[in-house]
Structures are given as C-alpha cells and as structure tokens.
Amino acid sequence: MIDSDGNRYVDFTSGFGVAFVGHRHPEVVEAVKRQADRLLHALGDLHPSDVKIQLLEKLCTRAPWPKARAMLSLSGADAVTAALKTAVMATAKTGVVAFEGSYHGLNYGPLAVSGFAKRFREPFLAQLQSDVHFAAWPSPDLGVEAALKTLPKDWSRIGAVIVEPIQGRAGVRFPPLGFLEALGQACKKNGALLIVDEILTGVGRCGAWWRSVDEGLIPDLVCAGKALGGGLPVSACIGREDVMRAWGDPDREAIHTGTFFGDPLGSAAALATIELIERDELAQRAVDRGKTFATMLRAERLPSVTGVRQAGMMLGLQLEGSMQALRVSRSLLERGYLVLPAGAEADVIQLTPPVTVNDEQLEGFVASLRASLGGR
C-alpha cells in the first residue's frame, strides 16, 4: 500500500481482515467491472438482482445445516443486528448473553452486546438494550465447567447467546477446548439460539470456512463479513431454515431490509471471492501460511513477546506490559508495516495478513518486528 506522501507499506492487517485474498485481486476487480457494465443498483428485496440471488444461494450451500436461509447487508454490525432480530422473532425473548471482551460492532444492537470497552457504550446507555448478561470470557487454562458457571442462572428471558470463536479485538483470545460445543449444548437445554460472530474468523481466515464448525460447534445463526466481499462492503446473517422462517412469509412489506443490502457490485465481488477461496483452496493455504508465520515468530524468541497465538492467518503476539502494542505498532509503521494493537490493555499485536503474503514479506516483517522490540 502507498500513502498520500508516497510511502510504501506492507499491510499485515489486510484492511481490518477484509483483504483475505489480497488487495485488489484481479479476479475480484474484473467481476466488479463486469457487473458495473450491467447494473449498478437493483431494488433490494423487492426486485433483487440475479447476482444477489446467486450469492444467497451460494452462501446457503456453505452453511453448516442441510437447509439454510440468508440475509445480506453491508457491515458486520448489520449482520449481527439481523441475527439479534432473528433471535427475537424465533424465541419471542429479548434477553442476550454476551461475553466480556467481545466486539460485535458499534451500531446500537451490536453495541449493546459488545463487552470490549465500557467507554464505547457509556454515552449511549440510555438508548441501548439493557437486558444483556455479560459472562466471563474463559482463559485457555480454565476448565469448561468453570467457564460455564458465569452464565446466567435464569434463562427465562434469554433468547440468544452471541459469541466469537476467537475474540479478535480483545487480543486474539482462544476459549478452552470444548467450550464452544458446551455453550451450544447450554443453549439447546435452555431454549436459546446460539449466534456465532464469524465476521473476522470465518470465510477461510482461520483455516476453515467456519471456525466454530471446525471446533465442533453447530450454531443456529452465523454472521459473516469482512473477507466475504473481497474489498467491498458485504455481510450476511445465515441461519437454519426453521429459525429463519420465524420472519414469516414475504407477503407484506419487509420489516428488516436496507436499500443497498445485497447490491449488485458487492454481490459480484463476493461471488468472485468465494470462487477464489474454493478453487484455489485458500482456507488450506491459510493453515499452511499461518503455521509458517507462527513458526518464524516463535523461532526468533523475540524480546518482550511472551506468546504467539495462531489459527490460520489470524495471529496474536502477547507483549509484556500494557500499552506496549501502541509503541510497537507505531515503530512498525515507521518501518513500513501496518499492524493493529489489540487487547483491553493494548498489550497484543493482532496480525491478519492476506493469504497471498509471501516468504520474503514474512521474513522482512519478522526482522522489522525484532528491531521494533529493541532486539538486534
């Protein structure tokens, strides 16, 4: 990437996780150009474009259930909003269980269930859904049973639980093995739907189409975004057919829609991106590239790095001391690399490079990281 002053950077954030297949992948660009020559805008749900219908059908074939339905939107927060609404329609219960450290977006619905930072919610508390229970996010060494004890005792008002398979913004935090599956069982026992936020972790990023399914969980609703559009704003809420039927038959005006949801350009880009990931087996490439990257980082024994967490092309470098990620990310920027600080204490460097990153770029990054950390 090149900035307005002509400085050159290698993007190890892939645009907040969006450019999984790389920035301006030629096949995605070509698909958008072709669609621009055909149709820029259609009438959403009233008269959808052919590419929107094709994308919905494609997403449903990638769902973890035999029969599925999907709703398209623009941002990850839009997809979470659709999932939260679906849970209310299906259960008639408005209560939600979320997790400390979670991040689901900053629109009102998602903001109410985001536990990453109170400062995001505090100015708007009076306008936010109040019936939210924040359970503790379990550390990897905490037993599953101990983690489940922080769930609410009374589920009578709870219609949904929302969880990230890996907490990204909170510092690439993994749950204990078996926790997600146990969480799903708790939802079934108590009559609540399980919403999995795969906006950052899904669509190949962590080495599988859905990280949660790879971990043994079959959710009720899945939210996708970021990498899905290949660089354009596209997101989706995908659910089991019986759950999505709660919206009723479309014989009247839609009560959840948006003018640009499933727009032709975004749909064309998403179809091209899915084709790339499937044809070129990019989820498996994420596994291989991610292992290579993590091995390089661990082998360096980098000063001030106490751990390397990795799943596919999603990595977190744990640093000693709060706020250190701010200093290191600034130093890396000066050396030509884009990374993101993460964690409530800004003590983690979050890395989500494109799956197209090559060995030379990885080696250059590791050398610059060592220099930024004060190593020789």
Instruction: Let me know: does 175 contact 143? Beta carbons within 8 Å.
Output: no
For 257, the enclosing helix (H) or strand (E) is none
Taking the C-alpha atoms of residue 287 and residue 274, their distance in angstroms, rounded to an integer, is: 17
pLDDT exceeds cutoff 80 at 77:
yes
pLDDT exceeds cutoff 70 at 12:
yes
Looking at residue 30, its pLDDT comes to 98
Looking at residue 376, its pLDDT comes to 53
| List of domains in the chain | 10-23+281-372 (3.90.1150.10), 26-279 (3.40.640.10)
pTM above 0.85, yes or no: yes
User: Token pair of 305, please?
Assistant: 């790095």
Instruction: Let me know: does 80 contact 109? Beta carbons within 8 Å.
Output: yes
- Mean per-residue pLDDT for 154-171? 97
Looking at residue 323, its pLDDT comes to 95
pLDDT exceeds cutoff 70 at 73:
yes
Give the residue from 34, 17, 9 showing the smallest Cα distance to 202. Answer: 17
pLDDT tens-digit map of 235-272? 999 999 999 999 998 777 789 999 999 999 999 999 99
Cα angle: 329, vertex 223, 354; to 5 degrees: 40
pLDDT tens-digit map of 42-66? 998 889 999 999 999 999 999 999 9
- Tell me the CA distances in angstroms from 65 to 83, 189, 222, 223, 250, one per residue in order: 16, 19, 11, 14, 22
Q: What's the whole-number average pLDDT of the chain? A: 95
For 235, the enclosing helix (H) or strand (E) is strand 235-240
210 DSSP assignment: -
- Mean per-residue pLDDT for 137-153? 86
Looking at residue 358, its pLDDT comes to 96
